[in-house]
Copies of this chain bind each other. A is one copy, B any other.
């Protein structure tokens, strides 16, 4: 049994080594012309300066919260310590991704002067550094913290998981800041640059005369690279630890509850706790092969086909590895768990197709928005909102089928030995339920197996976007610009797909995180009796109001995130207008705009605005739990309802925002491609308004809500002791 867990450190080491190799591969590429380097330097400096200030803020707040946790939460200092380690590891992941991406952009631009394939491979491998680095660090972190507490401190598995939960919370907490801060930064800069540059001054995107253009290019990095990196770091960490907590229930079940003759040895039963880590380890190998498979056969092919090839390689390998892992670890009923894993992989593919349907210009939704633009911005927005809300339907149906399927398969894997079914010292129905929950955990692991690859495709987006900006600003020939444009269009698609993936994995993971929460409630309140804890009865009004509060929390959070962008963009617009007015030489290209001032405005706006919304999902559930507990209500269930209905609402709103924003974006692109009047037509002006409205929804609020949903789960896991 022990041997297969060896794959965990191996995969972690291989993943990091591969990230190192990719870095070497990208860094030895040439840097292009001095003009290009000058722009690249400006982006790099702006991004690194922002990251430094952002992470300083995050680390200060994390240390304060870490000390509080260390003082309050059992096992005493250790949860606080692992919280800090989680926050730092999340920060490190974001930093690595940024470090490489702001150096890959210029090299991609240089490579685009030669062939499309070279540019694709350079940018994709630059993105994959982030993908592999983040996933490997998360694996090493989770496993490391668990093993350190288990073997180093001599804790039993339950206590070491208790301590490790802090790690997941730290990761989510830092990630919410990173995603929010980065998201506000990028969209304030983007909206500011677009509204004055494109709409008022009528200059093209990425034009060097636009004072906000460098801030915009910096924003792509800090929002998409660092933000999404932190998002997926915490997703994998939180979902891994959640699955391990669920595994703990089965561990206890097989080592102490079942009749003595059927009991497993401790090392045998640890399989339930280790499986999530092993599955993830295999996922790193599958993604590694997928990354290497990304290339373009011919110059005239769509770059998306090269990426799709890599994705299919990753999915197929992930399925094969999953078969091996379940067969080796899950005993004679392994096929059920293998099936659950396949459901996870299948769901990720289905979501990719649904997202494409809603956000690509080839189908009804985007075309409807484009059509509505011909009657002005108001009808564009109305139609876009309608499409955005419609996009919740198909993913929800897919998620319902996947959840019920994975749950059912998990239940089928439950033991049927009459000695267990009829045992009187535990509630068999509850354990069957936990098998079902574990089935959804396995499906989540299946979905996350491709995580490193998906993250690579996401980070690829801003790298190509930046490369295009560098080409444009350094006045390279039209032919090269066309190459980077093709890569950039492909990057827009992959960014939308990643968000769909992140949202669906959050939904699939919901049950395993709820299960982990109930397990904690059972341990802290009911002396380990799970059958008492696995309930959230909405028919009780105290529980129902928790649900109301959870739904409201998502709306309020979204409101704060959107408003932050609005405010920062407002300052940016006024600054750009001021520069154009103060120095007419800018438009005539005789003098240079003050890029640094715009970078500074975005930085300050983002840092100031990220704190309140990021603290909200920590303070509200804990305060609510404590108040409900003091008032004599059923606090664990009320908080459970907050968590569950917050998750459901989060899924809806994030879906609406991500897909709606993508559809608005591509509605504009559809018109720009020459339809309905093309560029400079009134329809195009209306579509630009829609695109701008969609920006903060799809790049700030939507992705932040993914993190919010996970943070709600980890914060309740950590603080559950305070309100039971």
Contact = CB atoms under 8 A, between A and B. Distances in A.
Interface in A202-231: none
A681 interface: no
A440 B544 CA distance: 13
Contact of A379 (B195, B372, B436, B548): B195
Interface stretch (A25-33, A131-139, A381-389, A494-502): A381-389
A470 to B, nearest CB: 26
B195 A548 contact: no
A559 B390 contact: yes
A503 interface: no
Contacts of A274: none
A116 interface: no
B641 A538 contact: yes
A562 interface: yes
Q: Report the contact-size class of chain A (Cβ under 8 Å from the partner).
A: 35 or more
B378 A548 contact: no
Nearest to A552: B396
Contact of A552 (B371, B393, B644, B693): B393
A404 interface: yes
A547 interface: yes
Contacts of A440: 541
Grouping DSSP codes into helix (H, G, I), strand (E, B) and loop, the A interface class, with mixed when no group exceeds half, is helix
A404 B545 contact: yes
A569 B386 CA distance: 14
B392 A195 contact: no
A629 to B, nearest CB: 14
B375 A574 contact: yes
Copies of chain A in the complex:
2
A54 to B, nearest CB: 22
Interface stretch (A77-85, A334-342, A645-653): A645-653
Contact of A383 (B518, B534, B544, B563): B563
A390 B640 CA distance: 23
B535 A386 contact: no
Given A379-B566, A382-B566, A400-B548, 6 more contacts: A195-B376, A375-B570, A387-B563, A534-B539, A551-B651, A649-B649
Interface of A: 191, 195, 199, 371-372, 375-379, 381-383, 385-390, 392-393, 396-397, 399-400, 403-404, 407, 433, 436, 440, 510-511, 514, 518, 534-542, 544-545, 547-549, 551-552, 555-556, 558-560, 562-563, 565-566, 569-570, 573-574, 640-641, 644-645, 648-649, 651-652, 656, 688-689, 692-693, 696-697
**Leading 7 A-B pairs by shortest Cβ distance:** A389-B559, A378-B692, A386-B563, A390-B559, A386-B562, A396-B552, A536-B538
